[in-house]
């Protein structure tokens, strides 16, 4: 996938996960590497300011794998932040 396609997949997945998720951007790594990092802001229930997370993906992985990795991380974070247990 190109960086643009990764952004599109990330945005689609983010929209499906929650209204409070916003894709900030995708950073590519040095040439020759398929590794990319997706930067996402999440407006969490327990936080005044959005939480920023980054998710590492490989652009040569199947699209469904990338979607799954993003969705999993988002759900995990939303779950952690919506639960007053743990933390502090
Ligand atoms: Zn959070």
Tell me, in angstroms, the distance from the centre of ligand 1 to residue 87's CA: 11
pLDDT at residue 82, rounded to an integer: 74
Tell me, in angstroms, the distance from the centre of ligand 1 to residue 60's CA: 29
Tell me, in angstroms, the distance from the centre of ligand 1 to residue 32's CA: 33
Tell me, in angstroms, the distance from the centre of ligand 1 to residue 36's CA: 22
Q: What is the C-alpha separation between 87 and 18, in angstroms, rounded?
A: 22
Closest CA to 12 of 76, 66, 77, 79: 66
Closest CA to 42 of 61, 55, 58, 59: 55
Return the structure tokens found at 83. Answer: 């639960």
pLDDT tens readout for residues 9-32: 999 999 998 889 999 999 998 888
What percentage of the chain exceeds 70 in pLDDT? 93
Tell me, in angstroms, the distance from the centre of ligand 1 to residue 41's CA: 9
Query: Is the per-residue pLDDT at 88 higher than 70?
Result: no
Per the model's pLDDT, the better-predicted residue between 19 and 56 turns out to be 56
């Amino acid at each position: 996938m190109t960086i643009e396609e990764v952004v599109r997949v990330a945005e689609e997945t983010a929209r499906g996960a929650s209204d409070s998720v916003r894709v900030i951007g995708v950073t590519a790594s040095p040439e020759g590497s398929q590794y990319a990092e997706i930067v996402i802001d999440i407006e969490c229930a327990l936080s005044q300011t959005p939480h920023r997370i980054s998710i590492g993906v490989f652009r040569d992985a199947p699209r469904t794998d990338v979607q799954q990795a993003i969705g999993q991380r988002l759900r995990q974070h939303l779950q952690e932040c919506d639960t007053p247990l743990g933390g502090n």
